Amino acid sequence: MKPMNDKTAHEASGEPLSGASPIPLNVQADESGQRLDFFLSKRIFGLSRSHFKKLVREGAVLVNGRKQKPSYEVAPDDEVRVSLPEREAAEGLAPQSMPLEILYEDEDVVVVNKAPGVVVHPGAGNEEGTLVHGLLAHCRLALQGAPLRPGIVHRLDRDTSGAIAAAKTEAAYLDLVRQFKEHSVRKEYLALAYGRFAERRGDIRTLIDRHSENRKKMAVTEGKGREAISHWQVEEGFGEATLLRVAIETGRTHQIRVHLGYIQHPIVGDATYGGGRGRLRAIRSEPLRRALEKAERQMLHAHRLAFTHPRTLAPIEVTAPLPNDFSRIIEELEQIEESAARQ
């Protein structure tokens, strides 16, 4: 008799694949009628619809305890259980030790103050040395988000510093993804922007989509795109530059960078959205210009992150100190302002 492998054993028993981590998902009323593979791609971050189609066909997905086809239409109160083999999360990801500034950690969640220049997860041209590699050397991460983003529930650009959370358990991952999807996570940034602001605070509400000509950029659009909402307030003014506190309700790609560029106050050091050398040369104050030219990246920092703990339901709020490059520029700008006030 031919011995059964993991797949044939699963098909015979109806149990999850060996070594898998089952993820329970309950179908909500507004998800009724969705194809099973589509439903999974929307509920579990980091894997494509085609990948889920493959998992369904392999029997790694059960609906109410039974195998179904990828085209199965889910119904309210269906219980969907997904088994992601451990190899999905570990493939190609060798832990790599790196300095990590831990802002909060328990058995479910870890929050790190990401340094500028660090890529969050592997991708084209960034196969090693990412935050994910460093976290894997520090602790276990949830399998969801695999194969290249285990535990990652949101992202920061390479040159944006600050607070970023990752899930250590599957249950924590699913709950944090839900909180981000429902916009219940509070995200607050510090941004050093060009120009003076006539008002102390304001809101920016637009649609954001891919730039029509440069697909690597995002842009404010009309008629299509996804809603993006940012709230800003002035923290400190430095003449032709201003430190802003920006809270975002949505988390669109490059949202704050796009929004501040759109209102003609681009972030210092952000050449992609109008804050590069051309804007720097327009600064009339030589001391201010010399201080701002020290910015080697966009001066954007994820300062505060607040969410509900996925298991205890306790409110969690963490504050990430400014990195040295950002804080040194702010200190120099404050000294320039103090010197000007004495004259």
Residue 8, in any domain of the structure: no
Pair 321, 222 in one domain? yes
Q: Pick the closest to residue 301 from 337, 266, 277, 325 (CA basis).
A: 325
* Range 23-45 average pLDDT: 85
Q: What is the pLDDT of residue 48?
A: 78
Structural domain harbouring 51: 21-78
Q: Which of 153, 181, 209 is the last residue of a domain?
A: 181
Pair 329, 194 in one domain? yes
Residue 10, in any domain of the structure: no
User: Which of the four pLDDT bands, split at 50, 70 and 90, describes residue 86?
Assistant: low
Average pLDDT, the chain: 88
* Range 88-113 average pLDDT: 86
Q: Pick the closest to residue 81 from 61, 95, 106 (CA basis).
A: 61
CB atoms within 10 A of CB 197: 16
Q: Which of 128, 150, 181 is the last residue of a domain?
A: 181
Pair 190, 338 in one domain? yes
Catalytic site residue from 37, 78, 108, 157: 157
**How many domains does the chain fold into?**
3
Pair 139, 234 in one domain? no
Decide: 291 and 332 in contact? Cβ < 8 Å: yes
Pair 190, 337 in one domain? yes
Percent of the chain topping pLDDT 70: 89
Residue 14, in any domain of the structure: no
E strand map for 4-50: 20-26
Dihedrals phi, psi of 290, to nearest 5 degrees = -65, -35
Burial class (CB in 10 A: 0-12, 13-18, 19+), 91: exposed
User: Which of the four pLDDT bands, split at 50, 70 and 90, describes residue 145?
Assistant: confident
Above 90 in pLDDT, residue 247?
yes
The label of the residue with tokens 């999807």 reads: 181
Q: Pick the closest to residue 299 from 114, 123, 160 (CA basis).
A: 160
The torsion angle over the Cα atoms of residues 243, 247, 250 and 252, rounded to 10 degrees, is: 20
Q: Name the 3-class secondary structure at 308.
A: strand
Q: What is the pLDDT of residue 172?
A: 94
CB atoms within 10 A of CB 192: 26
174 or 290: which leads in pLDDT: 290
Residue 4, in any domain of the structure: no
Pair 62, 200 in one domain? no
Residue 42, in any domain of the structure: yes
Decide: 262 and 206 in contact? Cβ < 8 Å: yes
Decide if 159 is catalytic. no
Pair 338, 190 in one domain? yes
CATH number of the domain bearing residue 57: 3.10.290.10
Q: What is the DSSP letter of 271?
A: G
Above 50 in pLDDT, residue 343?
yes
User: Which of the four pLDDT bands, split at 50, 70 and 90, describes residue 308?
Assistant: very high
Q: Name the 3-class secondary structure at 138.
A: helix
In angstroms, the CA 179 to CA 279 distance is 38
CATH number of the domain bearing residue 176: 3.30.2350.10
Q: Which of 51, 78, 105 is the last residue of a domain?
A: 78
Residue 13, in any domain of the structure: no
Residue 9, in any domain of the structure: no
Q: Pick the closest to residue 317 from 191, 163, 183 (CA basis).
A: 163
In angstroms, the CA 95 to CA 136 distance is 5
279 or 28: which leads in pLDDT: 279
Among the residue ranges 22-26, 291-295, 335-339, the one predicted with the least confidence is: 22-26
Pair 170, 122 in one domain? yes
